[in-house]
Amino acid sequence: MTDVQGTETDGEPGAGRCPVFDPHSPDLTPDRAYELYAELRATCPVSRGEQHGGYWALSRYADVRAAAMDNARFSSAGGVYVPAVSTHRFPPIDHDPPEHGRFRALIAPLTSPAAARRMEPAIQATVDGLVDRFIDAGRAELVEQLAVPLPLDVITQLYGLGPAQAEDIRGYSLEFLEHAAGEAGQDVIQRVCDYWIEVFAERRAHPGEDFISELLQLNDELHVPDEELANMMFILTYAGHDSTALGLGNALLYLAEHPETHAQLLEDESRIPLAIEEILRFETPLHWFPRVATEDVPVGDQLVRAGDRVMLLFGSANRDAEVFLDPDEVVLDRKPNRHLAFGAGIHSCPGMPLARAEMRIALSTVLRRLPGFHLDGEVERTSPLEGGGRHLGVRRLPVTW
């Protein structure tokens, strides 16, 4: 077998030739990623890579989910990037219990299903306003004109920020996307954290009815230092709008490529939530997250040693034929659908309810207001190195109707 860069690699003794997953390979395009995952599941479901300090890659659903659920033996304290991009730790995703629970309590007002329901009128208004801007033109680029600005607008409304601050946040995120796998990412993170500390000072002086004001009030009892709160705001904001934009972009791409499904979903809009879950499974926006073993753990036919880094390949797990019938096809009404696009266990995505609401409202609106929309030019997928090698999505989606 060969790795994605075309060099022969050896597996563990007795395992024969084994493909290698390298998150920073420039050859790891979306198509090649899924081909590699299939090879890994079939030949080396627990494979070893020596790049970036060394790691194990888990590709089968059962192993990925079991590790994600076992935060005692698979710690998240080693960080979400391989290799690390900063000395900063990003709460709550970089913390284990009991610290993890403290940070999740702080963000509960933002991430609860009730909070998402309260935001639905604002989400609908934002979607309608964005569509109003381009509907008369008869064509649009749906990533830049809808998938990106929608979650950014929603999250800045939650934070009580203005348009200029929203542009600041998007600019920082784009800069970090470009440099997440390099040393320049550390500088971006530090500048963003300094930015949030300034926002905290302004909001303490002039509190409002918004998430940041509520966060600071809740923190009066927990006494989390501003530097840690700023790290948390960095990861919440970056993940909260970019991962949603990736998921929405993937869903819009599928519908643009399959206009025959429009009538099916419009005939019964109650099918849209199941369709969203299936597209998230099929085109997982964030393909992997790392853990560190806290003790020797047998996984498959390998022994993961204490201190070893472990890569959980969520994108591969979501295509595992042991769990999903016809895994490489979109089955719009798939049920049950136990996908791992939002992770699993205590570190499952805290923004799930909000992301689902944004995607549901956006897709139902686009289907109704842009009937029969379809591709109108070249689609641009994410770079294999974007987001530290984790993102697989769409960056340009031209359509007409």
H or E element, residue 169: helix 163-179
d(CA 231, CA 273) in angstroms, rounded, equals 32
**Predicted pLDDT at 181:** 56
Q: pTM for this one?
A: 0.91
Report percent pLDDT > 90 for the chain: 72
C-alpha angle 282-284-285 in degrees, rounded to nearest 5 = 145
**Predicted pLDDT at 5:** 40
Length of the chain: 401
**Predicted pLDDT at 7:** 35
What is the mean pLDDT of the segment spanning 342-361? 95
Q: Is the pLDDT of residue 164 over 90?
A: no
What is the mean pLDDT of the segment spanning 154-160? 91
**Predicted pLDDT at 9:** 46
Phi and psi dihedrals of 379, rounded to 5? -85, 135
| 249-284 confidence digits (pLDDT tens) | 999 999 999 998 998 999 999 999 999 999 999 999
Nearest to 287 by CA among 36, 79, 1: 36
**Predicted pLDDT at 162:** 85
Nearest to 143 by CA among 390, 345, 381: 381
d(CA 239, CA 283) in angstroms, rounded, equals 17
CATH of 30-400, one of 3.40.190.290, 3.40.50.620, 1.10.630.10, 3.90.650.10: 1.10.630.10
| 173-213 confidence digits (pLDDT tens) | 778 777 665 667 778 888 889 999 999 999 999 999 999 99
Residue 139: CA count within 13 A, CB half-sphere: 7
DSSP one-letter code for 58: E
The strand order across the sheet containing 55-58 reads: 46-49, 55-58, 309-312, 289-293, 74-75
Q: Is the distance from CB of 180 to CB of 383 less than 8 angstroms? A: no
For residues 142 and 108, which has the higher predicted lDDT (pLDDT)?
142
Q: Nearest 10 degrees: CA dihedral of 190, 191, 192, 193? A: 50
Q: Which amino acid is at 386?
A: E
Q: Is the pLDDT of residue 6 over 50?
A: no
What is the mean pLDDT of the segment spanning 44-69? 97
Q: Is the distance from CB of 88 to CB of 302 less than 8 angstroms? A: no
Report percent pLDDT > 70 for the chain: 94
